Structure 1
């Protein structure tokens, strides 16, 4: 009995040691990024250790100013002008579309659902040229419209599919009970179903926020004015802007700042996010 208990404790210790080692390996790039933001350029290349020899806030101060006529704060504001409507449109359109597929019967439902699944398998890159031509016809290039408006029409099929699984896990008896109490379809959705699928909504909101914050190709294609650049393009523009090289510590410092909104949003919705993923995987 004692030997079995000792073996169990040894296995547990070994497991924790392995998990800690793997965690350090996984997290070290983030630690290095944060530490390198306080280093000098020479210090960055002299050692792979993340701790700087001497801390300096100069990379943050000079990096925030940038080499253009706009500060990094201006580019952050541009990013939020694009990200916030994208998240709102994604949540609203995905919820309504998923509600329709999960709760209503209509002609062509199976065909439309098959097309929805097909869009999840379609490489985004093959749509770039047709979409660019289409937005050119609408004369909305060099605006945020091509980056924001598609999300008003549930263009992210994976989010719709995820919410459909949440709706299907809710008994339709709730809908019937709400109908008897005088609730309309939209009131049933807002007051009864949305609170139940809150973990799924938070999950797609987090994904949408992080994907929009990190989007580089979209703004690069559609935005041509420096004044309208988001942070992702501004960071790239800061690299070798003059042709005489660039300060790596400043780019790293601004990269750290650009991660802060995503980290904050994820921290606020972490519980709902994990619950949404596990519930969707188990009930889907």
Structure 2
């Protein structure tokens, strides 16, 4: 009996040791980048895997914040926040409305529209990249943030489908009871469905915020003025093939760019888990 308990304890120790080692390997590149923000170019490029800087160079953050071309990184962070917040808000509202119509309202052509929406999830983004650019260029929107936020006002297929799955677990008896009380479909959505949809809505906020904050291709294609650049583009501009790249400043700004997504995850983590793991009401 003691031998069995001992083997179980050894198994637990080995399991946790393996998980810790695997987790450290996964986060090591991020840790190396964070500590690299306190090193100079020589210390970064010498191939050392050490996480402890020989000299703590806090001036890298000051150099990074100065930006380039007379534009500080405060401007780039502000641009990223504007684009990300607008796109996230638009995605949450529009996707919830579309998901409600597909999940709860019967009308002619609903199945055709739902099938078309699913087909858009199967298309790689590169396929529609050129047609979208041509359309926005003809509309005179290239050079502004409109191409980066406008599509999000019409729903995102992934989040629409996610919310539909969550709504499937909400009893339809609630809709029927609200209808008997004289509620319209709009009132049912705003007062019955929307409050119960909170975990799915917060999950959408977190994921969409991540995606939009990290977006590089969109700003690269549609923004052509340095004062309009987002953080992802600005960090890339630290790498200059014609001169010396300040890797310390680049890593410093990359580290700061992780803070918004880290804080979002830290404060809304419980809603993210609930939105993914649950479907419908808790009894």
What is the TM-score normalised by the length of structure 2?
0.95
Structure 2 counterparts to residues 75-86 of structure 1, below 5 A: 75-86=76-87
**TM superposition shift of 1:191:** 2.0
- 2:75 equivalent in structure 1: 74
Partner of 1:115: 116
Distance 1:232 1:280 in 2: 35
Determine helix, strand or coil for the equivalent of 2:107.
coil
Partner of 1:171: 171
Could you tell me how far apart the structure 1 residues matched to 2:58 and 2:218 are?
32
- 1:1-284 equivalences under 5 Å are 1-46=1-46, 47-154=48-155, 156-240=156-240, 243-279=242-278
Q: Residues of 2 paired with 1:159 and 1:246: CA distance?
A: 39
Q: How far apart, in 2, do the equivalents of 1:54 and 1:89 lie?
A: 45
Query: d(CA) in 2 for partners of 1:15 and 1:135?
Result: 53
SS in 1 for 2:278: helix
Structure-1 separation of matches of 2:122 and 2:59: 46
What does the per-residue CA deviation read over 1:88-142, in whole Å, with 9 as the maximum and x for residues that have no partner?
Answer: 1000000000000000111111111111111100011111111111111211110
211-220 or 191-200, which deviates more: 191-200
Deviation at 1:182, TM superposition (A): 3.1
Q: Distance in 1 between matches of 2:267 and 2:185?
A: 31
Residue 22 of structure 1 deviates from its aligned partner by 0.6
- Please give the alpha-carbon distance, in whole angstroms, between the structure 2 residues aligned to 1:255 and 1:4: 49
Q: For the residues of structure 1 that align with 2:218 and 2:279, how far apart are their CA atoms?
A: 29
SS of equivalent residue, structure 1 residue 77: helix
Gaps of 5+ in 2: none
Does the 8 A contact of 2:200 with 2:276 survive in 1? yes
Aligned mates of 1:44, 1:120 — CA distance in 2: 40
User: What is the distance in 1 between the residues matched to 2:191 and 2:33?
Assistant: 44
Contact 1:162-1:280 within 8 A present in 2 as well: no
Which structure 1 residue ranges, 5 or more long, are not aligned?
A: none
Structure number having the greater helix percentage: 1
Distance 2:132 2:279 in 1: 32
Secondary structure class of the residue paired with 1:52: coil
